């Protein structure tokens, strides 16, 4: 058993810091294995009387401390591997602390570390304490002055937050740079980068006419891959001015891309550090999805400058204050840059794939959690994506104008402060006069509400009644729940498909009936349009009504949703048939409804492509009480084959029509064209027609962009054919020097449904292309296998679970954050048959019983066991 269990931190225990800090002076003398850090800070008591100062610190070698110029001896303080405590302090004092750290040996990628030789930092949430002793909490805000001394040849670029004050050569081939950030900030927004990097620059002129210098730093040789990131940055800067009146506040904005990074990117003040995945793109190496990801993440980090940096979180329980709001902002930005309905659909797909299962499982927690062991485990889909849905619902309830007034008031009241989710809601309430008291339960109650809808039409009275009943199931630690306040957007369509009315219902009771008067004939109702509330809707639609909504609903989201609901309904019937050994029934009406969608020239191509994609295996699994991965896979494959057979001619014609020799463009229209073309190709591949195989192979070889090449490779990766091995080999040979493309090569193999996939994944672990120290590689191979290959991961012999657990334990010694993030699939054990349950639980027990296990992984594994 693990010796020391990590402590539980509780929101109710929040206390203001004993001391506040005015200014921090940091000096870094950079050496790969022994960097010296001097931190001089001015402290003053925060209404406390003679309290000791407790500074956080982790993996630091303490060299010196001095207080107001007097060197402290060992009797003047106490120190362990978590903290440094100094008693008997004056009201105001200057503390100078010198520490030594080892960036090269820092495999956790938190604090100061090296990625391909470049020094970089990651301080959110608690990395600053791995650099120096400090009150490493977001409500301690200070201005920072940073001096960096480094070897000039290996580190020509020296960066930190704010403005460059000085840059000089010093003796011994060293140089020195001094940076000053005028905006007080918490330690988690501190950043430093030093290395030999190439730079691409541009400018942006703000709405008040100030010119901001924009620089993107990358490894040499990548200069031709940053145009899209730069365009996205400028678009985001402009959008924030136009939509929210928010102007950038410094004259410099730097982005650095590194290949070893625990997450997507980090919003450090004026020095964003990014995972290369969200910066580098050119048409022959990045897919349309990569381009969209870059646009979204670049915008997300930029938007944090106001929602996160200028106004930050009081404590980490408030993480969604900045993350939910910033995700909402980046989703809105992407909706304005490309198709709004498709953006909404893809956001909802992510929510359903990642957040709904979280809310339904042992790791369920509220958007504002009340306790944690390791805060790094709370960068979750609930805090981010459900958090964004909460903001979106406020936006729907208040309307755009009131929401904007609320945002303005929030900044007016809290600029420069560290605040709470309640402060945000108060600004929204005060600006709009709309009561959000009940609504705030979305912050505190975990779980996805289930809303059941019943309706009836009274011909005589010409009235349509809709009854909505909501239920929120218990989640860990929360047994009794109260009804939630939510906006439900509805529409009524007449039998010709014309819209009779649309409305947003403000639902707040456990059961509530809404009546619509003067409805002349029996309508069809469209519910939760645009996914106005993040709920599970149970509505007794007939298949005829679903086909009708697919064909007629004026709300595109609802139209897509009708196709998903119809498909899910069918597939779950097919799963039952498979389990009983009965033959599948083909539903011609569904296929005809899809055909109508496919041939509808009023619809955008990317939207059609989304409608044609059946619910994923993961989504279907979530709808079953006891998940049967084999039956789901067989049913879904069969339905795809039926669709392919009946629509073969249409698919072939459209595929040919949409092929284009034009040079690649990442704009929405071209992406839509490729999405539909490749969806058609994937259906054409369902039969074993050699002519189709030739089409796919030809597309693989002749593609002039990565989207088309990857689409063909993904299809081939599921084919028991020589063409698969040839293409995989060709792909590696072409792209082996390109780390991000090699990630795709690993993922496509880890996702394959072919027998022997686990062995392939195991072999790839020792391939030269793989490194367990690099989070992108780990996510691409092991993460994809465990999360996105249910068929093989859940093999009934338990081999998938054992492999996964071995990797978690291997990684826990190297990078606990990444190890902990991989545990979640095992936590789904309750949803499987007894045999798999036992196997999965045994692996979780094996994790918990491991000596020296990190607190991060312990928290995830112990909670997963329940």
Residues with a known catalytic role: 301
CB of 122 to ligand 0A1, least distance (A): 5
Calpha distance 331→530 (Å, rounded): 13
How far, in Å, CA of 75 to CA of 63, rounded? 15
Q: Cβ of residue 266: shortest distance to ligand 0A1, in angstroms?
A: 4
323 binds ligand 0A1 (CB under 6 A): yes
Using CA atoms, how far apart are residues 140 and 322, in angstroms rounded to an integer?
A: 17
Rg of the chain taking only CA atoms, in angstroms: 28
Of 97, 266, 486, 507, the one binding ligand 0A1 by CB under 6 A: 266
Contact between 124 and ligand 0A1 (CB under 6 A)? yes
The first and second tokens of residue 808, run together, are: 């978690």
- Closest to Zn ion by CB, 324 vs 483, is 324
Using the minimum distance from each CB to ligand 0A1, give the nearer residue, 367 or 612.
367
Chosen residue from 267, 343, 622, 628 binding ligand 0A1 by CB under 6 A: 267
- Three-state SS at 435: coil
**In the window 118-177, what residues touch Zn ion (CB under 5 A)?**
none
CB of 783 to ligand 0A1, least distance (A): 16
Residue 265 CB, shortest distance to ligand 0A1, in Å, is 5
Q: How far apart are CA 817 and CA 798, in angstroms?
A: 25
Task: Work out how close the CB of 267 gets to ligand 0A1 at its nearest, in angstroms, rounded to a whole number.
Answer: 6
**CA–centroid distance for 768 within its chain:** 29
Closest distance between ligand 0A1 and the C-beta of residue 188, in Å? Answer: 8
Q: Show the binding pattern over residues 232-251: x = contacts Zn ion (CB under 5 A), - = does not.
A: --------------------
Q: Report how many residues bind ligand 0A1 under the rule CB under 6 A.
A: 14
The only residue of 114, 259, 262, 339 in contact with ligand 0A1, by rule CB under 6 A = 262
Residue 209 φ/ψ, nearest 5 degrees? 90, 10
Residues 327-386 that bind ligand 0A1 (CB under 6 A): 376, 379
Residue 265 binds which entry of Zn ion, ligand 0A1, none, with Cβ cut-offs from 5 to 8 Å by kind? ligand 0A1
DSSP 3-state of 832: coil
Contact pattern for ligand 0A1 over residues 280 through 319, marking x by CB under 6 A: --------------------xx------------------
Is 58 a binder of ligand 0A1 (CB under 6 A)? no
* Beta carbons within 10 angstroms of residue 465's beta carbon: 14
Residues 6+ apart with CB under 8 A from 268: 121, 123, 161, 189, 190, 191
Cβ within 8 Å of residue 13, ≥6 positions away: none
CA distance 251 to 240: 16
Closest CB 262 distance from ligand 0A1, rounded Å:
5
Q: Binds 122, which of ligand 0A1, Zn ion, none (CB < 5 to 8 A, cut-off by type)?
A: ligand 0A1
What does the per-residue mask of binding to Zn ion show for 305-344, with x meaning CB under 5 A? Answer: ------------------x--x------------------
Residue 778 as a binder of ligand 0A1 (CB under 6 A): the answer is no
Q: List the end-to-end C-alpha distance of the chain, in Å, as a whole number.
A: 17
124 binds, among Zn ion, ligand 0A1, none (CB under 5 to 8 A by kind): ligand 0A1
Structure tokens given for 469: 């009943």
Distance CA 450, CA 524 (A): 21
**Burial state string for 798-831 with b = 16 or more CB within 10 A and e = fewer than 16:** bebbbbbbebbbebbeebbbbbbbbbbbbbbbeb
- Pick what 263 binds: ligand 0A1, Zn ion, none; C-beta below 5 to 8 Å, kind-dependent: ligand 0A1
CA distance linking residue 475 with residue 495, whole number of Å:
42
Q: In the set 99, 118, 122, 747, which binds ligand 0A1 (CB under 6 A)?
A: 122
Rounded distance between C-alpha atoms, residue 371 and residue 10, angstroms? 4
Burial annotation 272-291 (CB, 10 A radius, 16+ → b, else e): bbbbbbbbbbbbebbbbebb
Residue 386, SS3?
helix
**What is the contact surface with ligand 0A1 in residues (CB under 6 A)?**
122, 124, 262-267, 300-301, 323, 376, 379, 817
Residues that bind Zn ion (CB under 5 A): 323, 326
């Amino acid at each position: 058993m693990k010796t020391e269990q990590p402590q539980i931190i509780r929101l109710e225990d929040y206390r203001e810091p004993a001391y506040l800090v005015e200014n921090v002076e940091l000096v870094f003398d950079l050496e790969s294995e022994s960097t010296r850090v001097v931190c001089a800070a001015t402290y003053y008591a925060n209404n406390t009387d003679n309290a000791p100062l407790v500074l956080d610190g982790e993996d630091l070698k303490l060299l010196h401390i001095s207080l107001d110029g007097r060197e402290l001896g060992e009797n003047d303080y106490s120190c362990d591997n978590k903290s440094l405590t100094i008693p008997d302090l004056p009201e105001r004092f200057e503390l100078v602390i010198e520490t030594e750290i080892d960036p090269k040996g820092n495999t956790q990628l938190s604090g100061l570390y090296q990625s391909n030789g470049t020094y970089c930092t990651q301080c959110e949430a608690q990395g600053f304490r791995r650099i120096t002793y400090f009150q490493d909490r977001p409500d301690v805000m200070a201005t920072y002055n940073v001096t960096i001394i480094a070897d000039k040849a290996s580190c020509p670029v020296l960066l930190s937050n704010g403005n460059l004050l000085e840059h000089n050569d010093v003796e011994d081939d060293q140089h020195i740079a001094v940076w000053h950030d005028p905006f007080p900030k918490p330690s988690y927004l501190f950043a430093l980068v030093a290395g030999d990097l190439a730079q691409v620059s541009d400018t942006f002129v703000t709405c008040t006419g100030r010119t901001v210098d924009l620089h993107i730093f990358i490894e040499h040789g990548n200069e031709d891959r940053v145009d899209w990131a730069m365009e996205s940055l400028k678009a985001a800067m402009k959008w924030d001015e136009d939509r929210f009146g928010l102007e950038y506040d410094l004259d410099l904005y730097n982005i650095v891309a590194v290949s070893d990074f625990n997450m997507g990117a980090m919003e450090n003040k004026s020095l964003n550090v990014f995972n290369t995945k969200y910066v580098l793109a050119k048409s022959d190496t990045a897919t349309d999805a990569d381009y969209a990801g870059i646009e979204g993440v670049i915008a997300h980090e930029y938007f944090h400058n106001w929602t996160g940096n200028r106004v930050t979180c009081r404590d980490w329980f408030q993480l969604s204050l900045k993350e939910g709001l910033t995700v909402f902002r980046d989703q809105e930005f992407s909706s304005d840059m490309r198709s709004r309905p498709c953006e909404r659909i893809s956001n909802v797909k992510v929510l359903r794939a990642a957040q709904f299962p979280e809310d339904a499982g042992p790791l369920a927690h509220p958007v504002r959690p009340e306790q944690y062991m390791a805060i790094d485990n709370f960068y979750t889909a609930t805090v981010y994506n459900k958090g964004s849905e909460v903001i979106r619902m406020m936006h729907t309830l208040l309307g755009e104008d009131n929401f904007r007034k609320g945002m303005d008031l929030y900044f007016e009241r809290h600029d420069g402060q560290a605040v709470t989710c309640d402060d945000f809601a108060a600004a929204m309430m005060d600006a709009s006069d709309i009561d959000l008291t009940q609504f705030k339960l979305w912050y505190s109650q975990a779980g996805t509400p289930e809303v059941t809808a019943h309706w009836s039409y009274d011909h005589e009275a010409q009235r349509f009644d809709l009854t909505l009943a909501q239920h929120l199931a218990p989640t860990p630690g929360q047994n009794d729940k109260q009804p939630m306040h939510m906006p439900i957007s509805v529409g009524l369509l007449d039998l010709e498909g014309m819209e009779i009315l649309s409305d947003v219902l403000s639902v707040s009771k456990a059961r509530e009936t809404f009546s619509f008067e003067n409805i002349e004939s029996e309508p069809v109702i469209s519910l939760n349009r645009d996914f106005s509330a993040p709920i599970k809707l149970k509505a007794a639609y007939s298949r005829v009504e679903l086909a009708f909504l697919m064909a007629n609903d004026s709300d595109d989201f609802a139209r897509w949703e009708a196709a998903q609901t119809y498909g899910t309904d069918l597939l779950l019937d097919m799963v039952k048939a498979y389990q009983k050994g009965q033959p599948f029934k083909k539903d011609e009406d569904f296929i005809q409804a899809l055909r109508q969608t496919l041939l509808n020239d009023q619809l955008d191509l990317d939207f059609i492509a989304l409608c044609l994609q059946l619910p994923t295996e993961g989504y279907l699994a979530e709808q079953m009480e006891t998940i049967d991965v084999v039956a789901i896979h067989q049913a879904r494959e069969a339905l795809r084959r039926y669709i392919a057979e009946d629509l073969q001619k249409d698919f072939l014609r459209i595929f040919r029509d949409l092929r284009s020799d034009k040079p690649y463009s990442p704009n929405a229209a071209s992406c839509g064209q490729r999405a539909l073309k490749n969806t058609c190709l994937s259906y054409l591949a369902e039969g074993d027609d050699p002519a189709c195989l030739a089409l796919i192979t030809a597309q693989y070889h002749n593609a002039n962009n990565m989207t088309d090449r990857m689409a063909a490779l993904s299809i081939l990766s599921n084919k028991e054919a020589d063409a698969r091995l040839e293409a995989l080999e060709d792909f590696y040979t072409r792209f082996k020097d390109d780390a991000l493309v090699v990630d795709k090569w690993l993922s496509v193999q880890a996702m394959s449904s072919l027998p022997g996939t686990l062995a392939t994944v195991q072999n790839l672990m020792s391939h030269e292309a793989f490194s367990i120290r690099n989070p992108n590689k780990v996510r691409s191979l092991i993460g994809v296998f465990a999360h996105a290959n249910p068929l093989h991961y859940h093999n009934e012999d338990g081999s998938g679970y054992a492999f996964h657990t071995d990797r978690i334990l291997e990684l826990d010694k190297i990078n606990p954050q990444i190890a902990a993030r991989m545990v979640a699939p095992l936590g789904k054990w309750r949803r499987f048959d007894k045999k798999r349950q036992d196997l999965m639980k045994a692996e979780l027990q094996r994790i918990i019983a491991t000596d020296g296990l990190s607190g991060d992984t312990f928290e995830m594994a112990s909670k997963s066991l329940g």
